[in-house]
Structure 1
């Protein structure tokens, strides 16, 4: 049996992110068509079908609260350009310009690149939509080991359905298709411990294709990579006296001392210094920033094993926390691994309001069992998930 780290490979994670960008881009395209922002436009005696004006789109993003400012709006559209979702009508500009220039979705003019990864993604989306639309579908929420998972199915049921619906010619092709979807991060074993097999093991669609994406989620990719590459989870939780263009965040450490951390970009869970900028903290009462270590030592007094947590009669109880992220994030930091624990909680944030406390152990994230994972993987699961976060945690009985 392989562990999660060997199955959830970086390539699959990157494919998953590209899929999320494609879904968000398609959702935006449909909304713009509905809002009549995309239409035929005439420029220099030539008519360009299905176009939008770059400057007008940035106005639309701000008006519809998809971007807080023009700079963020430009970055969002540049992300779509970098993923070959939109382009300048004449391909004269590789950068997205906040100007009266015409751009177009590649899906509207037939120039969207249909490489192997894209075709697999589109096949997965088609199967998901078909399963969701079927009355009494076998794709449903299920429990395993007292954990509830969404969008689940038995491996053998999926193979049966693919053959019965004519999606594949035989069971062998059906299994190969599912293995391809697995390798591309579209489906996964609920506990991320198994590859796909034609058995009664429980799997789920990792991607909820119908979830409404917030465009700002597209800007989390670099932050996610930085979390995976960093030696420890940074201690940036929430903005301190937020002001326009401000990049300062509160860092709540175990001794309640407040420091400020300069951050160029923030992710939903943590804020990271952009590029190669070092982390540093400054006391609010001081004018010069002395160099400090961003990550204090673990708040745990001793190491606790999974076996100790799960032993019948152990002095630990399980709690379910539903945390709705705000404009700044969720307000907590995860650290450690196998099991991970809550290292810090912003007392004024959504996590604290939901009842989160330091030293709690993370049992599941949005229905996925995670006691066997490290904090980098858990951070990635949280940042690529929905705004409403459901965590099961275990804490010592007092």
Structure 2
């Protein structure tokens, strides 16, 4: 009996047998996140590229539609006894494209419009002409008559655009610069952080729903991993928006053959309502207003993913990106309003277009114009650098921080009535 009891360790040895199995599994912990996620099939990659290309064309067409509305080229027209609402004349649009340097000649303009027509951006009012013709024919954008039936993919695009607009409008944007080794990735976000943001902002009911939405966004070419060709993962892997919904698009782009999905070019900086042409002198993250340079905040610590990994990506410290002030020295409100002060008040009327208003303001009260887009609405209205913002649409702005002015403009109408105080001499011009 004692010997039998002494033999009992044999089953214990069998209980210990899983230990070698554990050691066999340990190398899996050393496998990178990218090796454990689902890879995109070649067919899904091709489908994403094709749909991303179509989305870019339709976004270009939508920007053209808004510009033609602003130019009064889209309106109700009569022919014989019939009235055709919200349509444009093909010949007039060709003239407009050449005049606005969106096309080199009439042949180039026809090719651009034909591409938009083939992409179902607009159509002939009676659907009698499948080809675009440089004649006095009536065409209408499908977004003006509701004939573009939204597919599942287009619904994903609309939802993604709303999410993108919300993200980039936040003061502390979650799209940041990250680095891995010697590689740096601009305007990126971890998959787990994107889901956290969606839940916090009530864009999704559950994390699982968010993961399904993000997978659809990858399949539509809206977001993509910064490295490799894998599917969306609720992890520390980095993703970026492959489509910049705010970018001003040139119409000639619709004729290009290069796939932005393959090229993965860096996004241009966003500007919600100011600069339409961004120059090197402006900060990479410039909005309508620019703050004074501030010390770099500490880098955020990468958080563990929901799958238990600790990703190896490290966010870079945010560097001061603001350009130097156009003022030689700070100016106080008292200086601006003192009797006999060398400033002249002007009232300017700015009508924003589909891209924005075309100026940047800076400061903490009083605020001043830091940059103006040549040829933009603000420039046409007479806005100049070093002008001080006195009021906008009746709101006294002399003591307002630039963020308050920003919120006031974006929440109001497209038409701005701006009172500015313009210096009468060059005493504020830096030497």
- Find the aligned partners of 1:50 and 1:192 in 2 and give their Cα distance: 45
Q: Partner residue of 2:101?
A: 65
For residue 145 of structure 1, report the CA deviation from its aligned partner: 3.2
Encode CA deviations 1:280-328: one digit per residue, 9 max, x unaligned.
Answer: xxxxxxxxxxxxxxxxxxxxxxxxxxxxxxxxxxxxxxxxxxxxxxxxx
Corresponding pairs, count: 226
Where is the strand percentage greater, Structure 1 or Structure 2? 1
> Does residue 45 of structure 1 match 2:81?
yes
For residue 7 of structure 1, report the CA deviation from its aligned partner: 8.4
Q: TM-score, normalised by structure 1?
A: 0.53
- Find the aligned partners of 1:7 and 1:195 in 2 and give their Cα distance: 13
Q: Partner residue of 1:135?
A: 171
Give the alignment partner of residue 170 of structure 1, picking from 188, 196, 206: 206
Q: Partner residue of 1:28?
A: 64
Q: Partner residue of 2:251?
A: 215
Equivalent residue of 2:256, what SS?
A: helix
- Is the CA contact (8 Å cut-off) linking 1:7 and 1:192 kept in structure 2? no
For residue 63 of structure 1, report the CA deviation from its aligned partner: 0.8
> Does residue 11 of structure 1 match 2:39?
no
Gaps of 5+ in 2: 1-34, 264-431
> Does residue 198 of structure 1 match 2:234?
yes
Equivalent residue of 1:91, what SS?
A: coil
- Is the CA contact (8 Å cut-off) linking 1:155 and 1:201 kept in structure 2? yes
Q: Partner residue of 1:105?
A: 141
Equivalent residue of 1:104, what SS?
A: strand
Larger Rg: 2
Cα gap change, 1:141 to 1:27, in 2 (>3 Å): farther
- Find the aligned partners of 1:138 and 1:178 in 2 and give their Cα distance: 16
Gaps of 5+ in 1: 229-398
Encode CA deviations 1:15-41: one digit per residue, 9 max, x unaligned.
Answer: 110011011011111111111111121
- Is the CA contact (8 Å cut-off) linking 1:188 and 1:205 kept in structure 2? yes
Cα gap change, 1:102 to 1:12, in 2 (>3 Å): same
For residue 46 of structure 1, report the CA deviation from its aligned partner: 2.1
Q: Partner residue of 1:116?
A: 152
For residue 118 of structure 1, report the CA deviation from its aligned partner: 1.3
Counting only pairs closer than 5 Å after superposition, residues 1-398 of structure 1 correspond to structure 2 as 1=35, 6=42, 9-221=45-257
For residue 3 of structure 1, report the CA deviation from its aligned partner: 7.2
- Find the aligned partners of 1:35 and 1:142 in 2 and give their Cα distance: 42
- Find the aligned partners of 2:163 and 2:235 in 1 and give their Cα distance: 19
Equivalent residue of 1:119, what SS?
A: helix
Q: Partner residue of 2:266?
A: none
Structure 1 range deviating more: 104-113 or 121-130: 121-130
Q: TM-score, normalised by structure 2?
A: 0.49
Encode CA deviations 1:265-289: one digit per residue, 9 max, x unaligned.
Answer: xxxxxxxxxxxxxxxxxxxxxxxxx
Encode CA deviations 1:213-262: one digit per residue, 9 max, x unaligned.
Answer: 111111123x769x99xxxxxxxxxxxxxxxxxxxxxxxxxxxxxxxxxx
Equivalent residue of 1:99, what SS?
A: coil
Cα gap change, 1:3 to 1:171, in 2 (>3 Å): closer
For residue 6 of structure 1, report the CA deviation from its aligned partner: 4.4
Structure 1 range deviating more: 185-194 or 62-71: 185-194
- Is the CA contact (8 Å cut-off) linking 1:84 and 1:113 kept in structure 2? no
- Is the CA contact (8 Å cut-off) linking 1:78 and 1:96 kept in structure 2? yes
For residue 142 of structure 1, report the CA deviation from its aligned partner: 3.1
